[in-house]
Structure 1
């Protein structure tokens, strides 16, 4: 920021004027780039090329033009690197860093370098001890909420790494704690959706962001360590580094619920990446709407890894080599025959190869037709492809194929298991006990699978069956957030979609709240198909104040997971405990006090307690919104939906009720207490669980 020493003010103001002028030049150049991208689309539509080439070119040009138009308004650079004269490759050069590359002409030196470019890495990694050729690193301070007006550039900080003068001289585990600009950016109010952290990425985060496309990484991130931001920025980095490959194979972001997806939706567009699919796992696998619910015991069995083998057995029980009969195909007066023994041998051979069920059926068909073709050609010469196609679909072949390897739908298999006790007992023999099989049985079986009311857990099982029948389309990379809450069967659904790609797995074992939540990353990674993925722990928190984190850490002893305690790099923030006999009245008082401060306010309570709190706040004249309303001043959030969200001021109501509301309630409370960025009020009439 502007130096406190009056004698330096004129010099700093001169530098600021020069940087503002550079920003104006960048704005002009960016406007020209946007206009040029639109003109290229018009020109590209008139190119002389084959239809396929023109279509590909048109798609690329339109995508680029759309991406340029959709860049959100804001400052065009956040940092600058000045390299020493003797720096290899960049001697004497200086570069401004921003969220996207800006240039006046493709052949001209860029006005702004993309934060993902190789040269930009020094901005995040250089230090006085290892300057990496950098003489001066400059950080820019912008007015909060700036939409890119050059006048909003209000300050700067220079770190003279070549002199050993650096603002990260008080480094704690490589995290900058002495930069006013970085601190202000991290601590500014959390209003609206999640922001990118391109300006404040720390060295250990940068290592994860720039991991190679072939590498699968698991980030065990304590609250406030930026694990979600790391995953999103890694996605942006991979899209920048491998654009063609990921355009073909796809990149997918998976979040725990639509509220969370809405919260993170603007991060990738702010980094220049549009059109990336962001979804929940249920949104990816759902073959039907969720219209049914499962008791807790039933859901637990359905999500258990043993169900994969139960389903496989049930599916392949339909394959019946013993049902083979002599196959005879007539061609005029000729008769071509495959004996029952030969057909059964083909079925056994294909099954031993363990192809997907649907592939196996077609493999049996192809081999049987090959036998018929060989016999026909030995008798009367070559047969054309049209003959093969006709025989493949003829009635005798299809009838025999349906007998030995019938066509099936996942819904048929699952409905039979959930309604037919004998079928389930056969498929689950040695895997599920009688009580577990009873839990799976539908109490009111539907007339057929077509009228079944499928639960969310059923959809996971249907996806497993569908994957056994035919492999799903995969992605080149998948980012999975809040992964600790996935069940083994859900992990398998993700693994099928990343069979030929890589994963970024984000989570915190201490925040696992589902009955099947992970206790150990090694087990989860095995179900995700990445047992050798590196597990990297982030423990240095930039978001949650130290006093708030100290209270939450007292819960760790009650959680059945081994994770290192989070450590906060912030000494600001406030923690207020409000013991009371009138919880609703104290909550209203806490909200009114919070309204005196800047930023977002969340009232978080056990789900059943929320309606009464809403009525109390409404009666007191306090306007509230639900968690899906981004940017609201006061938000009422059920504890079950708060994971991954953050607010400036959190009012946690009756922690004991949060703990008692569910099986892993202590984990849920740990989540609730760590949502506060600046201040936490704990309103309680009962003893605190921590």
Structure 2
């Protein structure tokens, strides 16, 4: 392996770096030409109507955006020189091919590729080839960039037995590069174990357990990009969705997929998915635990089915001079058959008038008439049939159903009997009954119940693929809400059991996947840490025996050890001074503190003249400090972190175990260095 080459003044034909720069310039020109070709398309005479024209115009606009040449983003980051042409017979003397690997496909006017999409099969050896298994690759070249300018290259002669395998310096530099702004893609640094997950098929669900810094979020996003490449037509029809824990997190990751040319993936929180009612209230831990329990699904099912009544009177349909009578016993048989099928409440309600009409048609046929489908539809719309359906299978509003369960103790007791205990029923009942759905102070957990009820009435639309990040914090009922969005599709579930910070945090992935409806999912574990320095992750891992016994600690593979410092401070000004010290370094800085301490720290920063941002706001070269409440730190990362008062972070949670998990999250947000400041004693678990 060569050392990174620096720029020289040699002639292009003598200087490999100059030749690579020339190829980069040609590739950018080719990409610009591809974009101009699309912009020049005239569709005025192509479509037959305005609807098709509008749809085609939208597709063209999306294609133009996907072909954007992003400033400061390398168009390619690697090169593969094959010993033989991929897919060809490896005959003696056969000439290999050279491929440049980048974020998207680029070809010149004749159609020959200048840059190969990183997701193409021919690109796979860039991530997986090794000295042990070169995969027919003679040379793998990595490129180093400063901004958008190609500044270095590094070679690995994979098929040369005389060259020893060594760690790539450029790869390590890219992993450890300072972070300013939102999360970026890791397309140039995907590791073999990550690549296996990224390229796993669309048909199966994958659950990725990964500690801090193992790249699980990036793996999930890159898997979406890969699936859109490999199954574009199918996913264009069925849709894809990325679900994150909060808006700050989604804002942090929102540029990753567009940088890879994927603009159609929707992003949402679980709260966004279940927004049938306006959330204005909050729950205590006891109420939230019960409302989030999967047993609530059975309570809702019972309450909904209780609206169905068995008939006591016949239905008499008058058509002309004839009267057709469906006796109560036959109606009861129809109703019971629909109940036994256990189909959606709304679908059964729509089927009931047709079943009654069919019973009438049978009588007509027996009397010698020959009714057709139009007659059956007419009977189904008959006023007597409509009245019977309204009485036997009335329409139910999901929000009103949940509201009654949460405000009517007798109604709840009737349908929770044998499912919820008396104390649990008392926990979920509202202290003040609401007059209407609109005036009710719904909590986030209540909204999930409404979503469950809505699905019992009418099936939720299923997407082709869903990525669920920070999944360890979801309740069983939230898992069910997500699972409804991918019943006919697949999912990528990302999380870390040690970072669960809700009272209902996931205890095991098998349990969580069962609630999701994906019990057959494959669970993969990432244990190599690419982000958190060794000393930092080692210190944070002291908490693992207390928060996730048996979970393997992350092993940092960083060459740069970073730094870690414990400081006893006397006042808030000392915390501000630590922030000012870290801001002298290149990159971003996060000040993480217990939520209750954030206002005081904000005032101290302002008094010191240090500007700061809130989580989710994009850092700039001028403002590189973010003040982060510990409750919002999950999923975020900063080059340097000041963690204020660890014991206050623990005390800010309802119980010690949850507090220690929150502390574990806060301790593992640093990429290059961590300073822990404290006036109070540290939690004994860190001793």
Does the TM-score normalized on the shorter chain lie above 0.5? yes
Give the C-alpha shift of residue 84 in structure 1: 1.2
1:114-193 to 2 correspondences below 5 Å: 114-143=117-146, 146=147, 148=148, 152-164=149-161, 169-170=165-166, 178-193=167-182
Partner of 2:659: 665
Residues 333/165 of structure 1: CA separation in 2 closer, same or farther (3 Å cut): farther
Partner of 2:628: 637
- Could you say what secondary structure the match of 1:602 adopts? strand
Query: Which one of 98, 115, 131 corresponds to residue 102 of structure 2?
Result: 98
Partner of 1:282: 271
Query: Which one of 675, 678, 685 corresponds to residue 684 of structure 1?
Result: 678
Alpha-carbon displacement from aligned partner over 1:34-73 (angstroms, at most 9, x marks no partner) = 1111223x23x42266888767655544432342248666
Give the C-alpha shift of residue 165 in structure 1: 6.1
Alpha-carbon displacement from aligned partner over 1:295-327 (angstroms, at most 9, x marks no partner) = 221111100111111111111111122x44210
Checking the alignment, whether the CA contact within 8 Å between 1:511 and 1:671 is kept in structure 2 is: yes
- Could you say what secondary structure the match of 2:564 adopts? strand
Partner of 1:68: 67
1:375 matched to 2:363? The reply is yes
1:334-373 to 2 correspondences below 5 Å: 334-373=322-361
Taking the aligned partners of 2:682 and 2:504, their CA distance within structure 1 comes to 26
Residue correspondences, number: 671
Taking the aligned partners of 1:395 and 1:622, their CA distance within structure 2 comes to 73
Checking the alignment, whether the CA contact within 8 Å between 1:222 and 1:538 is kept in structure 2 is: yes
Checking the alignment, whether the CA contact within 8 Å between 1:86 and 1:133 is kept in structure 2 is: no
1:530 matched to 2:524? The reply is no
1:208 matched to 2:197? The reply is yes
Taking the aligned partners of 2:51 and 2:629, their CA distance within structure 1 comes to 51
TM-score, normalised on structure 2? Answer: 0.94
Checking the alignment, whether the CA contact within 8 Å between 2:4 and 2:170 is kept in structure 1 is: no
Partner of 1:36: 37
Taking the aligned partners of 2:202 and 2:143, their CA distance within structure 1 comes to 31
Residues 54/381 of structure 1: CA separation in 2 closer, same or farther (3 Å cut): farther
Taking the aligned partners of 1:685 and 1:20, their CA distance within structure 2 comes to 54
Checking the alignment, whether the CA contact within 8 Å between 1:228 and 1:506 is kept in structure 2 is: yes
Give the C-alpha shift of residue 2 in structure 1: 8.5
1:77 matched to 2:76? The reply is yes
- Could you say what secondary structure the match of 1:554 adopts? helix
TM-score, normalised on structure 1? Answer: 0.93
Checking the alignment, whether the CA contact within 8 Å between 1:509 and 1:561 is kept in structure 2 is: no
Give the C-alpha shift of residue 450 in structure 1: 3.8
Residues 70/470 of structure 1: CA separation in 2 closer, same or farther (3 Å cut): farther
Checking the alignment, whether the CA contact within 8 Å between 2:633 and 2:666 is kept in structure 1 is: yes
Give the C-alpha shift of residue 476 in structure 1: 0.5
Give the C-alpha shift of residue 26 in structure 1: 0.6
1:397-408 to 2 correspondences below 5 Å: 397-408=385-396
1:409-488 to 2 correspondences below 5 Å: 409-488=397-476
Give the C-alpha shift of residue 15 in structure 1: 0.6
Taking the aligned partners of 1:71 and 1:301, their CA distance within structure 2 comes to 48
1:229-308 to 2 correspondences below 5 Å: 229-308=218-297
1:388 matched to 2:376? The reply is yes
Partner of 1:539: 527
Residues 449/79 of structure 1: CA separation in 2 closer, same or farther (3 Å cut): same
Taking the aligned partners of 1:86 and 1:103, their CA distance within structure 2 comes to 18
Partner of 1:596: 584
Residues 410/7 of structure 1: CA separation in 2 closer, same or farther (3 Å cut): closer
- Could you say what secondary structure the match of 1:138 adopts? strand
Query: Which one of 613, 628, 643 corresponds to residue 652 of structure 1?
Result: 643
Alpha-carbon displacement from aligned partner over 1:480-533 (angstroms, at most 9, x marks no partner) = 000011110000111111111001000000000011111111100111111121
Alpha-carbon displacement from aligned partner over 1:379-432 (angstroms, at most 9, x marks no partner) = 363335443333222221111111111110111211111111111111111111
- Could you say what secondary structure the match of 1:111 adopts? strand
Taking the aligned partners of 1:319 and 1:237, their CA distance within structure 2 comes to 47
Taking the aligned partners of 1:278 and 1:52, their CA distance within structure 2 comes to 27
Structure 1: gaps (5+ residues): 171-177
Query: Which one of 283, 302, 320 corresponds to residue 332 of structure 1?
Result: 320
- Could you say what secondary structure the match of 1:161 adopts? coil
Alpha-carbon displacement from aligned partner over 1:584-604 (angstroms, at most 9, x marks no partner) = 122011011112111111110
1:564 matched to 2:567? The reply is no
Give the C-alpha shift of residue 104 in structure 1: 1.1
Alpha-carbon displacement from aligned partner over 1:349-401 (angstroms, at most 9, x marks no partner) = 11101101111111222111111122234436333544333322222111111
Give the C-alpha shift of residue 121 in structure 1: 0.2
Give the C-alpha shift of residue 559 in structure 1: 0.6
Partner of 1:674: 668
- Could you say what secondary structure the match of 2:281 adopts? coil
Residues 72/353 of structure 1: CA separation in 2 closer, same or farther (3 Å cut): farther
Mean alpha-carbon deviation: is it higher for 409-418 or for 647-656?
Answer: 409-418
Give the C-alpha shift of residue 291 in structure 1: 1.1
Partner of 1:173: none
Taking the aligned partners of 1:650 and 1:166, their CA distance within structure 2 comes to 40
Alpha-carbon displacement from aligned partner over 1:622-656 (angstroms, at most 9, x marks no partner) = 11121121114111000000100000110000000
Give the C-alpha shift of residue 86 in structure 1: 7.4
Taking the aligned partners of 1:294 and 1:3, their CA distance within structure 2 comes to 59
Give the C-alpha shift of residue 286 in structure 1: 0.8
Taking the aligned partners of 2:70 and 2:377, their CA distance within structure 1 comes to 52
Partner of 1:174: none
Mean alpha-carbon deviation: is it higher for 225-234 or for 330-339?
Answer: 330-339
Alpha-carbon displacement from aligned partner over 1:435-474 (angstroms, at most 9, x marks no partner) = 1101111111012334322111011000111111111111
- Could you say what secondary structure the match of 1:21 adopts? helix
Checking the alignment, whether the CA contact within 8 Å between 2:5 and 2:152 is kept in structure 1 is: no
